[in-house]
Structure 1
Amino acid sequence: MVYDLDTRLCFLRSKGISVGALTKPHLPTNIRAFTKDDITCSDIGYQESNWQKDRCFKAHYDIKTKPEADKECAKDNGFLVQIDSISKHNAVKQFIQSLPSGNKFFIDGSDEAIEDDWRLSDGNLLYLDWKPGEPNSCCKKYEHCVIIFRNGKYNDVSCIAEISFLCERSLRTFDPEILSVFWSGPLFIKFCIIFKF
């Protein structure tokens, strides 16, 4: 069985695919065979992160509020980029600077629970690198979300502002659209299985 990218269906293919002793089957271009070991960020519409081998980033240029951005990232089994260290901050900054466009992006982080205690949605501390003069005292009542600029500096903004955003996900988190195809002999592919880790 194989997964057809055009129809998004799994189907049995008894002819036309063979497996050599050391190679994977040669498939038509509209058919993909995945295993958890050979999937890449580009296979799931993301880009390599240059931070950790199994982490991928994706820039969304359509503007959303922070809650809408959270939902959009979740559709890909991802989340808004979470920056909890200088090494990750540098990787995200490098990623943004490699993009063809975009000046500011929502990232994960809020001080809504306790003013000036900037936390990620998982409760960990947000690594901070504020733009000079930020966060300022003018708008503390409603600026509880974080954006990152192209230069890597942060600003606090309203969570209902509409801004581009950055998603992150792990290659170990498969969604129902990523299927693994196994082969068991020289003549046919045996299983088409949905992975959900």
Structure 2
Amino acid sequence: MIFRISIISLALATYLDIRYAEAYCPDNWREFSGDCYLFLTHLPMNWQSAWDYCAHRGAKLVEIEDVSEDNFIIQNAKDFHIGDCFWLGGSDAELPGVWMWSTSRTMLMYTNWAPGEPNHHQSDNEHCLDLLYYAGYNDAYFWNDEYCTRLCHPICEQPSVPEGSIIG
């Protein structure tokens, strides 16, 4: 009898460990590699408003760290069929030409700039990083330096929480 209870207890503990190890994202957020992403597709805004929007939700404008995360972001941008642009969390406003992630305060180690970017096109006022749709490049998205006042769609990022955790 004790052996049977031990096996049941072990099975239950294993189930709970697996269940609680699964990632959980709030409604309308998409999970990838332990993080949650919100693609705000109905309300374009300038870069600062996008940063504030994410921060107000306990998140940050997305900081893309590698090619797999970039591919995830691009695929989701394509899935929404918006075309146009999405804000990323990078900027060179503090030191032109030195691109930093605005929340983690780290330099961009991985990049996916469009050909010829960043270029500060026609002025020195393109200091915010967006993911821009390029119809001329096989309908692809690439990184682009942009006027911070342009209206783009935010992509917010936050860590996922174990399923079953209390979110408040």
Structure 2 length as normaliser, TM-score?
0.71
2:84 and 2:144 map into 1 onto residues whose CA distance is 12
2:39 alignment counterpart: 59
Does residue 152 of the first structure (1) align with residue 134 of the second (2)? no
2:45 and 2:21 map into 1 onto residues whose CA distance is 33
Report the residue type matching 2:107 in the other structure.
Answer: L
Query: How far is the alpha carbon of 1:128 from its aligned partner?
Result: 1.8
2:159 alignment counterpart: 170
Note the alpha carbon deviations across 1:43-94, whole angstroms, 9 max, x for none.
Answer: 3431123xx1x21111112111111111111222111110122222122112
Does residue 103 of the first structure (1) align with residue 87 of the second (2)? no
Query: How far is the alpha carbon of 1:37 from its aligned partner?
Result: 5.3
RMSD: 2.7
Query: May I ask how many residue pairs the two structures share in their alignment?
Result: 142
Change in Cα spacing, 1:113 to 1:96, as seen in structure 2 (3 Å) is: same
1:40 alignment counterpart: 24
Structure 1 length as normaliser, TM-score?
0.61
Note the alpha carbon deviations across 1:7-39, whole angstroms, 9 max, x for none.
Answer: xxxxxxxxxxxxxxx8xxxxxxxxxxxx96566
Change in Cα spacing, 1:39 to 1:88, as seen in structure 2 (3 Å) is: closer
Report the residue type matching 2:68 in the other structure.
Answer: S
Match for 1:123 among 105, 111, 120?
Answer: 105
SS in 1 for 2:40: strand
Note the alpha carbon deviations across 1:167-191, whole angstroms, 9 max, x for none.
Answer: 1111239xxxx973xxxxxxxxxxx
Change in Cα spacing, 1:56 to 1:141, as seen in structure 2 (3 Å) is: same
2:21 and 2:99 map into 1 onto residues whose CA distance is 36
Q: Which has the higher helix share?
A: 2
Change in Cα spacing, 1:102 to 1:168, as seen in structure 2 (3 Å) is: farther
Find the structure with the greater CA-based Rg. Answer: 1
Note the alpha carbon deviations across 1:83-119, whole angstroms, 9 max, x for none.
Answer: 1222221221122222243431010101112221111
Does residue 77 of the first structure (1) align with residue 61 of the second (2)? no
